[in-house]
Structure 1
Amino acid sequence: MTINCKGSLIDLSSPKVMGILNLTPDSFYDGGKHKDAKAVLDQVELMLNNGATFIDMGAYSSRPGAEHVSEDEEMQRLFPVMELILKHFPSTLISIDTFRANIAAQSIEIGAALINDISAGNLDAKMFDVVAQYQVPYIMMHLKGTPQSMQKQAVYDDLMKDLLLYFSKKLHIARDKKINDIIIDPGFGFAKTTEQNYQLLNHLNMFQTLRKPILIGLSRKSMIYKILKSSPKEALNGTTALHSIALLKGVNILRVHDVKEAFECVQLIEKLKANT
């Protein structure tokens, strides 16, 4: 199971780690942390050295109830930092977390290797055409509504059947557009209650029927710290526990704040699987 990133084939049969670089002031865990060039470069270097295959950059907070950000502001936050990273670490495989087709296109022109779309094209109908034009790997996530409205839409006839149908329809559109490399993200915390998140985790292996790589993003999320009665800052151990479960259920990419711990988790689970 491979994806083509800027001419390099990345084998996802061995799980990979995607490090998060938030460029927003209001992200739920590390908002406002990377304010200057040195902080950005230090963090990227740390993540790469700790085992990250991909760096996922986002300039529009998608946490529940986050404020809307204009396209111009998203660009101003994103593009200079992309150029800075690629100047100092030119081989970095950058994933751009955006639902806007125009930003996706310009990011790819600058040097992005993947597009990570929380809406799977629902918030910008041109996104599929951009991905098809540039033939970059496309992460499509499940989301109902928008980041501002999603928590009111956590209603399903049957959670797993609804998500599988959602992705089946999206994959059909992608095939028609001749998009080759697609990664599935079930969207933990997006239009899902805590109970639904755990139901989703328990049945993650069902997404293997789609025959696409699976990415998850549950790092330090409320589904962990609410259960533990703690906070995002105290949720690393819980995150690692759930990462282990997800890897055993066939997940291919962990999108994380803490690369070193996630990479160690991958190493240990891979050793376990090799000795069954």
Structure 2
Amino acid sequence: MTGPSARPAPLPARLHGLDRTLVMGVVNVTPDSFSDGGRWFTPGAAVAHGLELVAQGADLLDVGGESTRPGARRVAVEDELARVLPVIEQLVAHGATVSIDTTRAVVAEAAVGRGASIVNDVSGGLADDEMYGVVARTGAVYVAMHWRGHADVMDDLDDYDDVVTDVRRELAARVAALRAAGVRDEQVVLDPGLGFAKAGSSNWPLLARLPELVADGFPVLVGASRKRFLGHLLAGPDGEPAPPLARDRATAAVSALAAAAGAWCVRVHEVAGSADAVRVAAAWQRGQSAPGPGTDDELAVDEDARTGGSTR
């Protein structure tokens, strides 16, 4: 199951057979997320924002109640539940397909109970031993991200021999553990974890060699949106990184390239640009496979017309 047309089975029928990469819009119900913390903190504001993202072209909405920005501290599980559950319930009632962004099994199970279709776990199950059991029991789609530690320590863990090889190996270990817990392969999506234990240059090889991860046979989610490595790339003459809200055009460029490389989904804060980008990538790929001038069939027709059909 590879390429942008691959779809984990439990998603709604309307998301099957689109023949393009999906777009996941971010709904942060947090006061401290790195790019938009506090803007959608109340349930009403979060729901309105989520519906706006759907109107702009989001196929999925990723609802999170705990920031995973570098250096962030954990919130109490009761606070996380109170933040996300009312938002998920209302978004589902409006017909949205919802993902819960959490590392906690209890939050994942409650969110699926309220209608979430996907569990997006940035820890890949390493933060909570009960997570895989919840995924197996509920049958939800599960995004296993490459992860080495919580936000307060992850920058110290950016140490790789070859980042692509190491990430693939560590994700393969997550897949093996998921299978051992009874999770079916068709539930699993992999995420290379851009920005997580990858503070800077380690991110670019993962994007440039994305087809290698796609070739491992699972749908791949790419979450580059507004991340630090884009800010450093777009730094001004004074060397100051571009602020998060100035990284959306670069994010859309990554979305187009990731889609062309076979990503199943891109996770973004600003949806409209990436919704256009994945459609451009799909049209580009269709153009590559369509017959063009000078193909064997057309040359044969031209030759027949010139010779009057003679075979001499």
Residue equivalent to 1:3:
8
Equivalent residue in structure 1 for 2:103, among 99, 102, 118: 99
Equivalent runs, 1:101-250 vs 2, <5 Å: 101-180=105-184, 181-229=187-235, 230-250=242-262
Residue pair 1:3, 1:10 contacting (<8 A) in 2 also: no
Equivalent runs, 1:22-33 vs 2, <5 Å: 22-33=28-39
Residue equivalent to 1:268:
280
Looking at structure 2, the residues matched to 30 and 209 of structure 1 have their Cα atoms a distance apart, in angstroms, of 34
Residue equivalent to 1:57:
63
Offset of residue 2 of structure 1: 2.1
Change (3 A) 1:7 1:245: closer
Looking at structure 2, the residues matched to 9 and 169 of structure 1 have their Cα atoms a distance apart, in angstroms, of 32
Offset of residue 170 of structure 1: 1.2
Residue pair 1:183, 1:215 contacting (<8 A) in 2 also: yes
Q: Looking at CA atoms only, which structure, 1 or 2, has the larger radius of gyration?
A: 2
Q: Letter of the aligned partner of 1:70 in structure 2?
A: A
Change (3 A) 1:157 1:37: closer
Looking at structure 2, the residues matched to 25 and 269 of structure 1 have their Cα atoms a distance apart, in angstroms, of 35
Looking at structure 2, the residues matched to 98 and 64 of structure 1 have their Cα atoms a distance apart, in angstroms, of 16
Offset of residue 175 of structure 1: 2.0
Q: Letter of the aligned partner of 2:132 in structure 1?
A: F
Looking at structure 2, the residues matched to 237 and 274 of structure 1 have their Cα atoms a distance apart, in angstroms, of 24
Q: Letter of the aligned partner of 1:260 in structure 2?
A: A
Looking at structure 2, the residues matched to 153 and 7 of structure 1 have their Cα atoms a distance apart, in angstroms, of 37
How many residues are aligned here? 274
Residue equivalent to 1:34:
40
Residue equivalent to 2:295:
none
Offset of residue 210 of structure 1: 1.6
Looking at structure 1, the residues matched to 12 and 91 of structure 2 have their Cα atoms a distance apart, in angstroms, of 19
User: Taking every aligned residue pair, what percent have the same amino acid on both sides?
Assistant: 31
Residue pair 1:2, 1:9 contacting (<8 A) in 2 also: no
Change (3 A) 1:17 1:221: same
CA deviation map 1:54-74 (0-9, x unaligned): 100000100100122111111
SS of alignment partner, residue 210 of structure 1: coil
Looking at structure 1, the residues matched to 107 and 42 of structure 2 have their Cα atoms a distance apart, in angstroms, of 22
Offset of residue 9 of structure 1: 7.1
| Unaligned runs of at least 5 residues, structure 2 | 1-5, 236-241, 289-312
Offset of residue 7 of structure 1: 5.8
Residue pair 2:103, 2:127 contacting (<8 A) in 1 also: yes
Query: If each structure's strand is expressed as a fraction of its own residues, which one has the higher value?
Result: 1
Does 220-229 or 29-38 show the bigger shift?
Answer: 29-38
